[in-house]
Amino acid sequence: MSEQPDAQDSHVDRRAQLLPEERTVGSEDPHEQAEVILEESRERTENPDPDASTQSGRRRSEDTA
């Protein structure tokens, strides 16, 4: 399920619009920042690490409250 190049560009363009907290600190290159953020997100989605997240890891009954 890969996105079309123009859909990918559109997604990057939307993400390059800085969030309020990002505008506060600024960004030298919002488009590059968006590409990096989206690539890292895609990598985590395609290759999740179950040990790195309490939501995706398996729990034992003694691990609950």
Q: Where are the domains of the chain?
A: 1-16+27-42
Whether 48 contacts 56, CB under 8 Å: yes
Read out DSSP for 10-25?
Answer: HHHHHHTS--HHHHHH
The confidence score (pLDDT) of residue 11 equals: 85
Amino acid at 50: P
The confidence score (pLDDT) of residue 1 equals: 47
> In tens digits, what is the pLDDT along the chain, a chain of 65 residues?
454 556 678 888 998 888 899 889 988 899 999 999 999 999 988 888 766 655 555 666 776 66
The confidence score (pLDDT) of residue 40 equals: 92
The confidence score (pLDDT) of residue 47 equals: 85
Amino acid at 36: V
